[in-house]
């Protein structure tokens, strides 16, 4: 019986076949309907009812089958949102980058402008202009990587002071962050290490002194370490500053070196075309990697460049 067949159709395709067999060009109902004009009134009405009824039945079954197909599809694609997500590895910012960012924010808040210089330097910027002419014994303090053309891997960011003064003249208040290179390697020395350099030169009348340097560093240290730090100064020697000092910081029950600095040597100003009778100021340089190690309790400077992801994840940042 057609009605049962319609209701028992298992798929939309099966139903479609039945429909064609019924209402298609050569369908059973199509044939009957063609003959309608020859029928009695009652029989016509009967055929019409049958026609409507069958069409309704097809429509209903079609909707049922489509619905079932959709439900089956949805059941197959079901996502269990209560399941744990697959763990994703998130990157971490390298301690050097992170601490540089912090330092940049602090120095900029004190009116210093960030400037940069190349890591491959010429002899002039890395040594000579910094009051270290070729014969100067202080060159031996830094184990230098020389390139075949006489250039060097910069041994100190002090080279950027020179570039900054050559470019901008005075007054100038700048700082620089970056990598330096020396032929040394042990737990506290890395062939590539980080430094931060600063320079503040202004008119002699402004009377910039060593105590301004100390005050600046007190502010810096308390901002960077997040608490008031106790500092002390010791006399030192650098060819490019006179007088030269080192500033230590109380760390637990020990004194640790925080930075080096001093009043910019008149020869350095002259080398950059600045009149030392008109201008004076201070410069400073941090062994930055060491400072970051202190802040985060790291004990091997080589880890900064080893690229060990486990260390990066656990370095305190
Ligand atoms: N360039 C020095 C070094 O690498 C550090 C330094 C000392 C920088 C004194 C300065 C300074 O600007 O005034 O050992």
Side-chain-side CA neighbours of 206 within 13 Å: the count stands at 15
Q: What is the mean pLDDT of residues 263-267?
A: 98
Ligand 1 center from residue 200 Cα (angstroms): 14
Give me the pLDDT at residue 315, please.
Answer: 66
Ligand 1 center from residue 188 Cα (angstroms): 18
Ligand 1 center from residue 16 Cα (angstroms): 88
Give me the pLDDT at residue 212, please.
Answer: 97
Task: Choose one of 180, 184, 259, 261 to mutate for the ligand 1 pocket test, by most ligand atoms within 8 angstroms of C-beta.
Answer: 261
Q: What is the pLDDT of residues 151-201, one digit of tens each?
A: 999 999 999 999 999 999 999 999 999 999 999 888 778 899 999 999 999
Per-residue confidence at 209, pLDDT binned at 50, 70, 90?
very high
Q: What is the mean pLDDT of residues 202-227?
A: 96
Does the CB atom of residue 193 touch ligand 1 within 6 A?
no
Ligand 1 center from residue 195 Cα (angstroms): 9
Give me the pLDDT at residue 303, please.
Answer: 86
- Res 219 pLDDT > 90: yes
In the CATH hierarchy, which top-level class contains the domain 95-314?
Answer: alpha beta
Residue labelled with tokens 């290179």: 181
Q: What is the pLDDT of residues 107-155, one digit of tens each?
A: 999 999 999 999 999 999 999 999 998 888 878 777 899 999 999 999 9
Q: In angstroms, rounded to a whole number, what is the distance separating the alpha carbons of residues 219 and 226?
A: 10
Does the CB atom of residue 194 touch ligand 1 within 6 A?
no
Ligand 1 center from residue 283 Cα (angstroms): 8
Asked if residues 194 and 178 have their Cβ atoms less than 8 Å apart, the reply is: yes
Ligand 1 center from residue 158 Cα (angstroms): 6
Q: What is the mean pLDDT of residues 245-272?
A: 96
Does the CB atom of residue 262 touch ligand 1 within 6 A?
yes
- Res 49 pLDDT > 70: yes
Residue nearest to atom 12 of ligand 1 (CA): 284
Give me the pLDDT at residue 90, please.
Answer: 77
Does the CB atom of residue 241 touch ligand 1 within 6 A?
yes
pTM of the model: 0.73
Q: What is the mean pLDDT of residues 96-106?
A: 94
Task: Tell me the domain boundaries of the chain.
Answer: 2-76, 95-314
- Res 316 pLDDT > 70: no
Q: In angstroms, rounded to a whole number, what is the distance separating the alpha carbons of residues 186 and 198?
A: 27
Q: What is the mean pLDDT of residues 276-283?
A: 98
Does the CB atom of residue 287 touch ligand 1 within 6 A?
no
Side-chain-side CA neighbours of 317 within 13 Å: the count stands at 21
Q: In angstroms, rounded to a whole number, what is the distance separating the alpha carbons of residues 305 and 96?
A: 10
Torsion of CA 183, 185, 188, 189, to 10 degrees: 20
Ligand 1 center from residue 196 Cα (angstroms): 9
Task: Choose one of 131, 132, 158 to mutate for the ligand 1 pocket test, by most ligand atoms within 8 angstroms of C-beta.
Answer: 158
Q: For the chain, give the mean pLDDT.
A: 92
Question: Two tokens at 117?
Answer: 């210089």
Does the CB atom of residue 126 touch ligand 1 within 6 A?
no
């Amino acid at each position: 019986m057609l009605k049962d067949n319609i209701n028992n159709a298992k798929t939309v395709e099966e139903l479609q076949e039945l429909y064609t067999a019924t209402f298609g060009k050569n369908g059973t109902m199509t044939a009957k309907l063609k003959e309608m004009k020859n029928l009695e009134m009652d029989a016509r009405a009967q055929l019409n009812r049958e026609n409507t009824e069958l069409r309704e039945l097809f429509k209903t079954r079609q909707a049922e089958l489509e619905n079932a197909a959709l439900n089956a599809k949805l059941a197959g694609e079901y996502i269990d949102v209560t399941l744990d997500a697959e763990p994703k590895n998130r990157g971490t910012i390298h301690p050097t980058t992170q601490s540089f960012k912090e330092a940049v924010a602090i120095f900029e808040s004190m009116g210093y402008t960030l400037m940069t210089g190349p890591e491959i330097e010429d002899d002039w910027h890395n040594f000579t202009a910094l009051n270290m002419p070729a014969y100067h014994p202080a060159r031996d303090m830094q184990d230098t990587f020389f390139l075949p053309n006489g250039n060097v891997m910069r041994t100190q960011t002090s080279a950027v002071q020179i570039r900054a003064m050559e470019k901008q003249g005075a007054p100038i208040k700048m700082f620089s962050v970056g990598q330096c290179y020396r032929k040394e390697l042990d737990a506290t020395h890395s062939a590539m290490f980080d430094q931060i350099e600063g320079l503040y030169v202004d008119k002699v009348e402004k009377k910039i002194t060593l105590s301004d340097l100390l005050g600046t560093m007190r502010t810096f240290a308390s901002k960077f370490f997040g608490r008031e730090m106790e500092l002390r100064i010791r006399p030192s020697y650098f060819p490019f500053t006179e007088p030269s000092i080192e500033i230590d910081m109380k760390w637990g029950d020990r004194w640790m070196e925080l930075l080096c600095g001093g009043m910019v040597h008149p020869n350095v100003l002259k080398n950059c075309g600045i009149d030392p009778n008109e201008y004076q100021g201070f410069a400073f340089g941090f062994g930055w990697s060491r400072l970051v190690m202190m802040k985060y309790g790291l004990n091997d400077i080589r880890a900064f460049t080893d690229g060990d992801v486990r260390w990066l994840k656990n370095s305190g940042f």
